[in-house]
Structure 1
Amino acid sequence: MTDEPRATAELGLRVDHVDSPIGLRVDELVQPGLRRNPKRAHLLVSTVLGKHIPCDPARVIDAGVRLGDLCAAALADSPGPVAVFGFAETATGLGHCVATALDASGYLHSTRRSVPGFPVVGGFEEGHSHATDHALVPSDPAVDLPPGLPLVLVDDEISTGATALDAIRALQALAPRTRYVVASLVDMRSDEDRARMVAAAEELGVRIDSVALATGRVTTPDGLIDAVAALPPTPDPVPAGRRGSATRVDLPWPDGVPDGGRHGFRASDRPAFDRAVEKAAGALRAVVGDGPVVVVGHEELMYLPLRLADSLARIGVPAVFQTTSRSPAYVLDAPGYPLRRGWSFRPPEGGDGRRYLYNATVQGKNATVVLVLDPPADTDHLTAPDGVVDALTSSGIDVVIAVVPVDPAHLTAERRR
């Protein structure tokens, strides 16, 4: 019997620790997983992000605070305001946590959603991702991407640094500055990757520092992509004898308060946002009772569901946090593998492609799923056959559909007054 992770023991995918400035190990922060992707077959499944694995919300927030502290130390010679940028879809909540920890003047994350009335002012690509395009849609580029300020770029994982460099080039063209910090939970770059970032900084005439909770190395055996493609398909979830219930709650949310950083989140937004989270959590408590619950955000909508889960936990409701995903990971219900079960469903916004949710348990057991969405995802597709609610209730899971009535147009109008 081996203690190695399943993907290591059976396929030779290794994740090795190198160093950490705060005493954490890479294998405490990520577990090796697999995905059927012809560009990259391995997946580093974070234990502190709240994407694929349900997490204690306090642990997710703590990881963001620790990363923010490392950023502050890196910027100790540049006192004054700082701005923060997060990468969709996995790091939108983490980036917001870092922005809060740094008391940043503003926070913006990239998006893969087309928003009527919001022009795309820039973008870049993520070559190995299942969804490659990143768009920038701030409500006011001059304020949400302030030129001149040091900018912290936050991602959950830096594998080669190529995406971060593409983002820096795009951001530098929009709002030039001389200082960047690339921050991640884990940094898995090779020496050659690091040298490329140094060369790019010289080319652009900027300084780029890198910080991470831990550094490590990924070893992918030859033929891993073909080996993963040849694995037997994961059976669809077996329908339960009892279909779960579906309950809807429209959460209270004040007009003009952003639900995250898709169109920019400013320091001045924090007090109203914090009050709104507490009020919304109270409304949820009246519906979910004593729990336990898995608070599930919709793709890029990560920070608000995270904060809701944290508020519920602080008022005595056992709550964990995670989100849905665009990434088709490989699911295997076996000890030592991080993705034990999963659901595939049509996008609630409509259109092509599939969306996914993994694990969704509290201590390995079913719990009520609180699905937090904004109005663009609140459609007929949400509750139709082959939608996410249908997929979960078919497995016997009770679902609370919690809609945050945020109108980006109202946000823009409030800011222009």
Structure 2
Amino acid sequence: MSTAASGTPWATAELGLRVEHVDSPVGLRVEELVEPGLRRNPKRAHLLVSTVLGKHIPCSPDRVIEAAGLLADRCAAVLSDVPGPVAVFGFAETATGLGHGVATALDAAAYLHSTRRSVPGFPVVGGFEEGHSHATDHALVPTDLAVDLPPECPLVLVDDEISTGATALDAVRALHVLSPRDRYVVASLVDMRSDEDRRRLSEAAAALGVRIDSVSLATGRVTTPDGLTDAVAALPPTPDRDPAPRRGTTRRVDVPWPDGVPDGGRHGFRASDRPAFDEAVDRAAEALGPALGDGPVVVVGHEELMYLPLRLAESLTRAGVHALFQTTSRSPAYVRDDPGYPLRRGWSFRPPEGGDGRRYLYNASVSGRDATVVLVVDPPADTEHLVAEDGVVDALTASGIDVVVAVVATDPAHLTADRRS
């Protein structure tokens, strides 16, 4: 039974999974920022699907950037007693774009995000674990840790949601060993921690001899009924989609990108990088324009590659294109075509980089209708697997969706050479 008419989310009505609002400093309710979803994961069967992040649900780029700006304002308020610049750290994979947006809004001295990708020439200098995630490892691969995470700056750690705070605390501990400082801020779109979770963070801060503030756009609670994991596992599989009347088309655009300009924060993004990055994004959007036609598009980034596709979508919007933004995911979520459920359709495909495992994309539509997908990838994902059978392009075009593959010609090796010279 559809729950759209009553306004009750399907996962609440059918399984008792509840998301409840507690408070907000910016006048937004938790229910406006996240919707309850499900995933077949024995570690955690529920998924908070953000409405403003551009991960599982396509979003207006302006809405994503606005949410990052509001969160940056909260960070600035709690750091109003700090005279100098700040540094920002984002969590892979989901919050890499959000963290970068916060860093931009704060005019941060530097931004770095964790990664799950091994990059030749960039040694892993540290890391931490995310216990409930489908992919648990977070690696740190900056160009120069002292510059990309300057110890003289307070550090803002950005995630899309805080459930218990355990991952954020592990990150603070790991980063404090590598680059100690006396001030941290944990920032998230929604904060669902219990009082006990908050006490645990305070006790850890005291043990480290540091101050850790927490800010969010809204606080709330998640109520998970007993047996939820088994109940989700017992749900019927998502029905196969009917065959599309036609296979979608594929077009490739090689998008220029200047050497020495980072495509995001995987290896560090510094304040001095912003002007060249902004100019490169607009030039990339101009190169894409002729391939798009007149209809709406969904600009889809590849996993951690979030901020550049977000800014591409923003630039296309300014040029008059009806563009939404989202990215692929490593997380296998439960899909159900019900108006009261946020994950209406999904695709599973092999990783474009090769290797084991599956990758996923959800929804990818504009107002419930198919749109051209602009799939933005960097060179490591530009492989035969990207366009081969059981790849993401094959999965989308088999559904009748037209795909423009935008390959952004970034080169971390050039970035390394430029920054270490």
Sort the TM-score into its range (normalised by shorter chain): over 0.9
Q: Counterparts of 1:69 and 1:225 in 2: how far apart (Å)?
A: 37
Q: 1:239 aligns with which of 238, 243, 261?
A: 243
Matching residue of 2:40: 36
Secondary structure in 1 matching 2:187: strand
Q: Does 1:325 align with 2:325?
A: no
**For 1:307 and 1:2, how far apart are their aligned partners in 2?**
36
Question: Which secondary structure state, in structure 2, belongs to the residue aligned with residue 201 of structure 1?
Answer: helix
1:363 is matched with which residue: 364, 367, 387? 367
- Who is 2:106 aligned against? 102
Deviation at 1:222, TM superposition (A): 0.3
Deviation per residue, 1:196-215 (Å, 9 max, x gap): 00000001110000000000
Q: In 2, Cα distance between the equivalents of 1:43 and 1:398? A: 29
The alpha carbon displacement at 1:146 in A equals 1.2
Match of 1:181 among 161, 179, 185: 185
Partner of 2:138: 134
Cα deviation for residue 248 of structure 1 reads 0.2
**Aligned to 1:226, what secondary structure does the other structure show?**
helix
> What is the percent sequence identity of the aligned residues?
82
Structure 1 residues 255-280: Cα deviation after superposition (integer angstroms, max 9, x where no partner): 11000000000000000000000000
In structure 1, distance between residues paired with 2:95 and 2:23 = 22
Cα distance in 2, alignment partners of residues 188 and 166 from structure 1: 17
Aligned residue for 1:370, secondary structure, equals: strand
Q: Deviation per CA, 1:365-397, whole angstroms, max 9, x where unpaired?
A: 000000000000000000000000000000000
- In 1, the alpha carbon distance for the partners of 2:64 and 2:306 equals 11
Deviations 1:154-181 (A, max 9, x none): 0000000000000000000000000000
The CA RMSD measured in Å over matched residues stands at 0.7
The number of residues matched between the two structures is 417
Alignment of 1:378 with 2:382, yes or no, is: yes
In the alignment, structure 1 residue 258 sits paired with structure 2 residue 266? no
SS, match of residue 142 in structure 2: coil
Q: Using the TM superposition, give the Cα deviation of residue 81 of structure 1 relative to its aligned residue in structure 2, in angstroms.
A: 1.2
TM-score by length of structure 1 reads 0.99
> How far is the alpha carbon of 1:238 from its aligned partner?
3.1
The AA in structure 2 aligned to 1:38 is P
Structure 1 residue 290 displacement after superposition: 2.4
- Residue 69 in 1 paired to residue 69 in 2? no
* Aligned match of 1:209: 213
Q: After TM superposition, what 4+ stretches of structure 1 lie above 2 angstroms from structure 2?
A: 235-239
Letter of the 1:252 partner, please give it: P
Alignment of 1:13-412 (within 5 A): 13-412=17-416
In the superposition, the TM-score normalised over structure 2's length comes to 0.98
Q: Distance in 1 between matches of 2:211 and 2:239?
A: 49
In structure 2, stretches of 5+ residues that fail to align are none
SS at the partner of 1:130?
A: coil
- d(CA) in 2 for partners of 1:259, 1:366: 28
Letter in 2 for 1:198: S
Aligned equivalents of 2:351, 2:280: Cα separation in 1: 27
